[in-house]
Amino acid sequence: MKEILLLSGKGGTGKTSLTASFVSLAESCLVADYDVDATNLPILLRPSPVSEHEYSSGKKAVIDQEKCTHCGLCEMVCRFEAITDEQVDNLACEGCAYCSRICPVEAIDTLPQPSGRWFEGKIHPDRTFFYAELRPGEENSGKLVAEVKNAARLSCQQQNIPLLIADGPPGIGCPVNSALVGVDLVVLVGEPSISGLRDLQRIHQLLKMREIKSILVINKYDLQSDWAGAMEKWAQQTQVDYAGKIPYDPLFIKAAREGKTPADYPDLRALIAPIWQRILEKAIGATGDGCLSF
Amino acid sequence: MSLTISVASGKGGTGKTLVATALTRILADQCPLIIDTDVEEPNAALFLPVSNLQVEPVHRLLPVIDDDMCTYCGICAEVCEFGALTVLPQQVLVFPELCHSCGACAGLCPERAISEENSLIGQVETGSINGMGQLVAGRLNIGESLSPPVIKAAKKKQAGADLTIIDCPPGTTCPMIEAVRDSDYCLLVTEPTPFGKHDLALALEACKLLGVEAGIIINRWQGEDNGIIDLAERFGTPILGYIPFSFELAKAYAQGQDPLKAMPELGGVLERVFRQIKESRS
């Protein structure tokens, strides 16, 4: 089984629209959305739910005011400034339970909090799609990403599906590090701008550290063709394979409004199909020169 | 009276940094402080003329086991809620990527065999923006997972500023919460697409949880709201302004140029947004 993950560092470069397009072009695949903070792939793929699972990212401290002797020890040991005058700030509490363990009168309990849900769904034509929703204000999104990933990979094995296509979160931190576990190929979705290139360079450095292969797609290249050129040059210099470029097209937004993927429109399909082919070849490693060379 | 405005969005790429840096430019006479808390991808400094950049390291604490004192009793692993320690018969393994630096293992070790040492996870950069105030930016080191400590370190530089603009990370979980917390006002930048609407709803929810008053600015406006106006009404949140879609603006911004020159009306839009925020505070 091969896992392909779309990342960009910078948000809003078109990861979700491209993920949906690749899903539409792939012959057989399973799909996952690891952007549990802002789960947008279901907007395009419109899954019908199969099962729903509660998720708890961790515990929160609860103080029994009747037992509390106001000694202040809990407030003193808390590194997260989550306790003030024996009141717990749930948004600051990370659930480490240090307070509960050190309280001399056992007035503090830590209770698991529901912090989100993950789902198995079906999309056309009879494909399995795993996604999740983390509640606003929650933490440990990396842990929920891991749950979605484990469920998706297990389902791939059980159904004997050769390919998992996943939409990734922005950034380079906790959820991205979790999303990268076991990935065979990262599709870097670059936006031609000074910040798009900077962020791509940061995510690429992370991939190098973790020895994960990547291939570049430049999206909206005609918005700033100079920076698109700079991005191509950077890819050449750093030996990142290049799968191709896509112009800015209002159809991407129209597709989202209609619950379609950009590849559902013939012109865009013709444009994205060869890019997908290059990505697939790179992922399978079937041909050595399947990617555009400079 | 000091004022702190955080610029957040939920969805990435809606134009947070554009709005935060353009606001800094139009408010130059008030000598604002802009804090870039998008520490995974700090980009605000790319769009402002920053000079005299000073860099300070940001550390966090990680447990270090003294093998001479450790009896391998296993209590540290038992009290760690994050699974960051594993005790073997003759060895304790620490997994830094899981550690939250809560200090429970060190504080509760019966042999006092655990100390905590600083581990570098990022940096805070401070500079002056030529004639426009100050910039502070947090930067998470590549390979690190925990951005909130770097966000906290960047925000600590705020002390004493009259007007602070915080450029926030995307999402609505711990990094965004850390960035928006304690703001007087949260300006949410959205785009009129189904993605923008979906993530704006989460961001509005997050502001409600934090008890921070919010207002909305719609970027890339082309006359169709895609349900955003309804959503704003449902939350009782005002729409403070619209930035029209413009290839010229996108092109200038992509190159790091002054967006107010590429779109002269942007200044007026943001001045009206700022006036409404001020009025809501008085």
Q: Which range has the worst mean pLDDT, A269-273, B42-46, B97-101, B207-211?
A: B97-101
Distance (Å) from the C-alpha of residue A84 to the closest C-alpha of chain B? 15
- Are both B225 and B115 inside the same structural domain? no
Question: What is the C-alpha separation between A83 and B246, in angstroms, rounded?
Answer: 48
Q: What is the CATH number of the domain that holds B142?
A: 3.40.50.300
Residues B97 and B200 grouped into a single domain: no
| B189 and B255, same domain (yes or no) | yes
B108 chain-A contacts, CB cut-off 8 A: 98, 101-102
Mutant choice from B173, B198, B202, B210 vs A, greatest count of A C-beta within 10 A: B173
Looking at B71, B86, B120, the residue that finishes a domain is B120
Q: Contact A206/B103, CB-based, under 8 Å?
A: no
Residues of A in contact with B247 (CB under 8 A): 223
Measure the CA–CA gap between B272 and B241, rounded to whole angstroms: 8
User: What are residue B186's phi and psi, to 5 degrees?
Assistant: -115, 120
| One domain for residues B187 and B140 | yes
The 10s digit of each residue's pLDDT in A218-274 is 999 998 889 999 999 999 999 999 999 999 998 998 898 888 999 999 999 999 999
Distance from CA of A1 to the nearest CA of B (A): 26
> What's residue A287's pLDDT?
38
Same domain, yes or no, for B73 and B169?
A: no
Cross-chain Cβ contact A97/B79 below 8 Å: yes
Predicted confidence at residue B97, as pLDDT, reads 86
Q: Which of A217-226, A285-294, B83-92, B253-262 has the lowest mean pLDDT?
A: A285-294
Contact (CB<8Å) A136/B102? no
Residues of A whose CB is below 8 A from B251: 223-224
Residue in chain B lying closest to A95 (CA): B81
One domain for residues B207 and B81: no
B252 and B179 assigned to the same domain: yes
Nearest CA of chain A to the CA of B97: how many Å? 9
| A171 to B170: CB separation less than 8 angstroms, yes or no | yes
Decide if B55 is inside a domain: no
Asked if the model's pLDDT at residue A83 lies above 60, the reply is: yes
Question: Domain range spanning residue B98?
Answer: 60-120
Q: Does residue A20 surpass a pLDDT of 90? A: yes
Q: Do B254 and A202 touch (CB under 8 A)?
A: no
Q: What is the pLDDT of residue B58?
A: 98
Quick one: closest CA in A to B60, which residue? Answer: A79
Looking at residue B107, which CATH number applies to its domain?
Answer: 3.30.70.20
Q: Looking up tokens 């092109």, which residue turns up? A: B251
Q: Is the pLDDT of residue A294 over 50?
A: no
Query: Is a pLDDT exceeding 70 seen at residue A117?
Result: yes
> What's this model's pTM, rounded to 2 decimal places?
0.94
pLDDT in tens, B56-77: 999 999 999 999 999 999 999 9
Determine, yes or no, domain membership for B113: yes
pLDDT tens track for B182-196: 999 999 999 999 999
Report how many domains make up chain B.
2
Report whether pLDDT(B282) > 90: no
User: Is the CB of A38 less than 8 angstroms away from the CB of B108?
Assistant: no
Which positions ≥6 away from B18 have C-beta within 8 Å? B47, B189, B219, B253, B259
Contact (CB, 8 A) for B244 and B222: yes
| Position B160 in a domain | yes
By CA distance, what is B81's nearest residue in A? A96
- For A228, phi then psi, to 5°, come to -60, -40
Distance from the Cα of A12 to chain B's closest Cα (Å) equals: 4
Q: Does the residue B33 lie in any domain?
A: yes
| Interface probe with B: pick from A15, A36, A79, A110, most Cβ of B within 10 Å | A79
Residue B105 lies in a domain: yes
| A contacts of B181 (beta carbons < 8 Å) | 91
ipTM of the complex as predicted: 0.93
| Per-residue pLDDT at A290 | 33
Of the residues B17, B21, B40, the best mutation for testing chain A's interface (the one with the most A CB atoms within 10 Å of its CB) is B40
Q: Which of B72, B93, B120 marks a domain boundary?
A: B120
pLDDT at A202 over 90: yes
Q: How far B34 CA sits from the closest chain A CA (Å)? A: 17
| Rounded Cα–Cα distance for residues B173 and B191 (Å) | 20
Band the pLDDT of A293: cuts 50, 70, 90. Answer: very low
Mean pLDDT (chain B, rounded) = 96
Q: How far is B81 from chain A (nearest CA, A)?
A: 6
Q: Which residues of chain B make contact with A141, given a CB cutoff of 8 A? A: 171, 173-174
At residue A58 the predicted structure's pLDDT band, cuts being 50, 70 and 90, is: confident
B34 with B75, same domain: the answer is no
Candidates B82, B172, B251; nearest CB to A37: B172
pLDDT, mean of residues B260-268: 96
Where a domain ends, among B120, B153, B172? B120
Q: In terms of domains, do B231 and B153 share one?
A: yes
Contact between chains at A91 and B210 (C-beta distance less than 8 A) = yes
pLDDT at A285 (0 to 100)? 76
Give the A:B interface size as CB pairs under 8 Å: 181
Q: What is the pLDDT of residue B132?
A: 87
* Interchain proximity B254–A196, CB inside 8 Å: yes
Chain segment B147-178, per-residue pLDDT in tens: 999 999 999 999 889 999 999 999 999 999 99
- Is B125 a domain residue? no
pLDDT-derived band at A57 (thresholds 50, 70, 90) equals confident
Nearest chain A CA: its distance from B209 CA (Å): 7
Give the gap in angstroms from C-alpha B93 to the nearest C-alpha of chain A. 19
pLDDT at A280 over 90: yes
Name every chain A residue with its beta carbon within 8 A of the beta carbon of B104: 96-98, 101
Q: Which of A100-109, A255-264, A275-284 has the lowest mean pLDDT?
A: A255-264
B75/B182 same-domain check: no
Q: Please check whether residues B144 and B45 belong to one and the same domain.
A: yes
Is position B54 within any domain? Answer: no
CB B32 within 8 A of CB B20: no
| Pairwise CB contact (< 8 Å): B12 & A43 | no
B-chain CB neighbours of A169 within 8 Å are 171
Is residue B195 a part of any domain in this protein? yes
Same domain, yes or no: B65 and B154 = no
